[in-house]
Amino acid sequence: MSPTLKIASSSLLRHVYTAGRYVLDIFFPLSCLGCTQSDTLLCQNCCKKIRPRYEQSCPYCRKHLTPHGETCFDCSSKNDLDGVFVAYDYNQPLVDTALHAFKYQSLESLAHPLSKLFVQAVISSGLPLPDCVFPVPLHPWRLRYRGFNQSELLGHALATTLLPGTAVPFDTQSLVRHRFTLPQQKMPNVESRKHNIKNAFSLSKQSTSSLRGKSVWIIDDITTTASTLDACARVLKQAGVHKVFGVVFAQNTFVAHSKRAVKPSSQIQ
Ligand SMILES: [Zn+2]
Ligand SMILES: [Zn+2]
């Protein structure tokens, strides 16, 4: 298929999807995922019940508590991430339900309440601001399937809200996922997750000189073993980035072969 035809068919699918959602909203009006209040997917009262994570720890060993999730001294010599800040724990029922619906049921309207919660947690943490923010990129096939990149929506909210009156540069072009990978949830252990995501990311040539010496954040919705963030950090560090911090909405606890570790095959990450 020619690139023009591909874009046209993708645009047509998007219109069909939007029309479909409009029809669904008429027959199945929105209701809060927590309390069923009408006209919203996540009401303010339910948002207030979601507790931020107060203790942050090294993303690799998780043994050492650090102020913002900085990588501990022991782990820093053999890994690329300088830390991962986690806004919320995934084991709260509403966080689990909302993120699952946002990502796997493509409920894009959850981006607004989830972004608000994300911004609140990051601002109140006092995490030092970066020079630039990157979302974890999706492979183009997954982006076409879902219609949006959930990490990009959350990252955009952060980049445009962190500094009053101005925006932190938000880069959705430089970091690309050039290799299609199986969903990380299907991987039975930490090693297979690392192997699955290895060499999946790269940087566009034009971006490498402008990133040297910078401090950056990589935004993701959920992390489990930090393997995806670590793979992104590797290419950024190789390009001369000084500091790479992951900033994620929630962290899931990795349990091999649990129902959360293996999702149905229709749920594309
Ligand atoms: Zn509610
Ligand atoms: Zn550690």
Q: Which pLDDT value is given to residue 7?
A: 45
Q: Which of 40-44, 101-105, 208-212 has the highest mean pLDDT?
A: 40-44
Distance 39 CA to ligand 1 centre (A): 10
Domains by residue range for the chain, with CATH: 51-251 (3.40.50)
Per-residue pLDDT averaged across 59-69, rounded? Answer: 94
- Measured CA distances, 229 to 217, 222, 223, 238 (Å): 10, 10, 8, 14
Question: Residues lining ligand 1 (ion), CB within 5 A?
Answer: 32, 34-35, 37, 43, 46
Distance 230 CA to ligand 2 centre (A): 13
Distance 98 CA to ligand 1 centre (A): 11
- Measured CA distances, 236 to 69, 149, 152, 181 (Å): 19, 20, 18, 20
Q: Which pLDDT value is given to residue 25?
A: 58
Q: Which pLDDT tens digit goes with each residue over 171-205?
A: 999 999 988 887 777 777 878 888 888 888 999 87
Distance 66 CA to ligand 2 centre (A): 9
Q: Which pLDDT value is given to residue 257?
A: 41
Per-residue pLDDT averaged across 32-40, rounded? Answer: 92
CB atoms within 10 A of CB 89: 18
Instruction: Report the mean per-residue pLDDT for the chain.
Output: 85
Which of the pair, 136 or 256, is modelled with greater confidence? Answer: 136
